[in-house]
Amino acid sequence: MLNLVNLLASPEITSVKSFCESAQGILRIVGWVYVGIEVVVPIILIFMGMFDLAKAVTEKDENKIKSAQQLLVKRAIAAALVFLVAALVGLIMRIVGNDDYKDCSYCMTTPWRCKIDDAFKK
């Protein structure tokens, strides 16, 4: 955290491109966390719901099956909401913010091919 504070206060940061180049490692880590949350969490939620439903069906108890169905629906809704949070944040940033964040967001949205020069060519 201290390195990020030092990075922001650095006199060498004179433009958005220089900031993005300096923070490239941090942006890549944030990107991998972002991808993990956006993709892995919904998949885990849906598989957990399916597993609970399969377990309830094998026990052949109507009350457990109904509660497992309700739990599956709740988890599917939660998975959809987790998946859509990133889209909502992007929409809000486009409406409220200026376009400077787009230059650095390239590393957060595609951490597997993060090169700052590629972001500034677009």
In tens, the pLDDT along 50-91 reads 888 888 888 888 888 898 889 888 888 988 888 888 778 778
Asked if pLDDT for residue 100 goes beyond 60, the answer is: yes
Give residue 117's pLDDT. Answer: 55
3-state SS track over 8-57: HHCCCCCCHHHHHHHCHHHHHHHHHHHHHHHHHHHHHHHHHHHHHHHHHH
Would you say residue 110 lies in a domain? Answer: yes
Cβ contact 104:23 at 8 Å: yes
Would you say residue 13 lies in a domain? Answer: no
Asked if pLDDT for residue 38 goes beyond 50, the answer is: yes
Would you say residue 16 lies in a domain? Answer: no
Would you say residue 17 lies in a domain? Answer: no
Per-residue tokens: 3: 């390195």
